[in-house]
Structure 1
Amino acid sequence: MPIGGHKQQPVVHELESAIVEGVELTADWNRQLESRVILDYDTTNLFALAELTDAESIEWCYGCGKCVPVCPVDVVGEYGPRKIHRKAQTGFDLLNDPDLWLCTTCGNCLRVCPKEVDMIKIMPAAREAAMAKGNPVPAELQGVFESTFKQGNALGQSARKRAAWTKGAGVPVRQLPKEPGPVEYLFYVEDYWSYHPRGHDAAQACARVFHQLGIDYGILGHEEKTLGDSQRLAGEKGLFEMLVEQVVETLDKYEFKQIVTPDPHGFNALKTVYPKYGHTYDVLHYTQLLAPLVDQLKWTRELDYTVTFHDPCYLGRHHGEYDAPRTLLMAIPGLKLTEMMRCRENGYCCGGGGGGMWLDSHTQNHTTERLSERRVKEAAESGADVLAVCCPYEVSRFEDACKSTNLDGQLRVMDIAELLDEALGGIDAVAPTEDAA
């Protein structure tokens, strides 16, 4: 009964033995008839985890299990906040276990959690603490940290190559270090569109779409560095803070009204994390810029494609943007849009978030298949012949997954910018420029 506003714990009266209907019950058996506090487990690691800044909510879990069926990792393994909490109650040390690196911080568990156990904060805090203790870090992730520190990008490429993609765009792309002056939009290209071959295709397509619309924009070229959100989520907070200082110093040199980026992770950094360090910017994902302008596009082709769309976790679930990408897709002449079973709020993660982009080797050792492989199977089951994406991580991830699942002849992976560009006539629709020569 409540006493003074507080629930009174039941008093356990335990007998050494009891006789019930002629049957003698020992104390061990009798104990099951009353409330029992679990005392034979070492909960030290759970409480130590909850003491970390930003990881306090791990202790709020009351084991309802709602997080488990929506966790993308649990679909291909054994995971979820409830399972991690339970294991920590029984002595499991998350800071020194492979489970630490499996969470993609997709946010689907937080969406359904009645206690708001926040893995998006818990996992980065735990990873940071693990690295501070000198605990093992997956080798491929350590390589990304080193490349980012030395070169300012996750791929370890030279800054001089940042703007190399512009040479194949067929339209002028203004590089602000070479052509300074105010612009309406600063186009923050980020790493994978700047350096990855398939990223080049999407970046060039996007530039052609911008050109047709007459959008006033510029890029930072060799002065651009990654915004560092994935490195932060992977536990390298110190590296992230170094990048914040460098990025802000560069941005302060130029005049612009808004920042536009194709990267939902960069979008998340600028919109929610950089302001915590005192730096606030008006930022858009490129689909948010283009969706209101779709009536101004001059289509030249119909695309006879059945397309399904994969919602990026950091654009959709984290920031609630589900409509802008679909507005663009549905505007393309001839294109048919079909949805996968898991879409919008319950969209399935590609596996690239929270540092997962660089942890496929680690993940393969602890799951039955990669998340990206599971996702392309779902895309194929929808009846689509094109899987549309709008995150730089996803074209290469899903194309690799199509190859490993023998779907590469059945399912094409294309960025929305590429689909728009194709329907607008692509490189054939623009006149040669001096920059393209």
Structure 2
Amino acid sequence: MEVVEVKQVTTKTAPRFTGKRYRLDKPELLAPAGNLEKLKFAVHYGADAVYIGGQKYGLRSNADNFSFEEMKEGVEFANRYGAKVFVATNIYAHNEDISGLEDYLRELEAAGIAAIIAADPVIIETAQRVAPKLEVHLSTQQSTLNWQAVKFWKDEGLPRVVLGRETSIEEIAEIKAHVDIEIEAFIHGAMCSSFSGRCVLSNHFTDRDSNRGGCCQSCRWKYDIYEDDIQMVGMDADKFTMSSKDLCMLEHIPDLIDAGIDSFKIEGRMKSLHYVATVVNAYRQAIDSYMADPENYELKPIWLEDIQKAANRPVNTGFFYDTPGAEDHIYEPEDKAVPYDFAGVVVSYDESTGLAVVEQRNHFKPGTEVEFFGPNGTFFKQVVGQITDTSGNGLDAARHPLQHVVMKTEHPVKPMDMMRKRVR
């Protein structure tokens, strides 16, 4: 870890704090992994670390989540790439949640998990006591927003704090100037309409506890609005929603690095495989390009285009530069923002014939316009020609999920490259 001078950079508002702070030599790209397959693709597409959920104590109870055996396999795969695996244990525990906690944490340690992400002091203290090889990272659920609170958690023995989403980039730079600790911040993905996830709408509407992993995303429902028993919205007009636009900081990588953020966190353990791979790939290229030559760094339009091919909602910069206003929320139903659907994954490629075996993930057929992309520079467009099954029988379409289809590609591809199709 080195001490470096904070550069003076231009933001949308005022210049940030200038001083000294501690940071990792290169920011970590931390990706979500809702299941084992997503973990492998996130790491393959460039994540330095992934965060997952186990069968207990996490805030995404509706994700596939991991058994201990799957965790061990995920850790083994990640280690081959020099990546780490973190486990979210970020619920606020009730009395009935405590039973079995010590054994669960010991199992995580035995599985090779590098760190847990925790908010409840009981979980934090228990991990430090019974599983000392596990790092404990403070969850964003603690809503930590100032350097004195960060220092408190450092003094409690935590090496990393995940800041609340409401922290500005100027505040982050000031935190780094005062406290020699790793800072993790969300830089992409869904934003909660409540204060760092402390919403109780789900509890009231569906009896599903947001702070114990059961959020039903009430803010993204469609509502009718009444005033004095008169229906204002919902009868002759589109129904009202109150959800936030998604966060996207891809255009601001230099600012994030100069502020001293150590770990760039992507939200989305419930998102698709295509989303995870696409977003990780874009940020990986941007980070590496900046670190290779900061003085001549330029944002490439294709990175933003790729993000848009995977995103479902409009985006903004969250709280990094200013406080979000009405324009940063979604009040009306949106048109489908994604012009592409995930169509397949390359299983194998024969250089002598130019034939690829593609595992189908969405319906496609001869004549479909597709794109291939991968983490090692693979990117090209083509129209699907003749397709067959693996026995050589001709097919008029790839209709069946996970069906293996043989097709000719116009350029070489690699296993785990992806194919997406243009939606007309």
TM-score relative to the length of structure 2: 0.27
Rg larger in structure? 1
Normalising by structure 1, we get a TM-score of 0.26
Structure whose residues are more often helix by fraction? 1
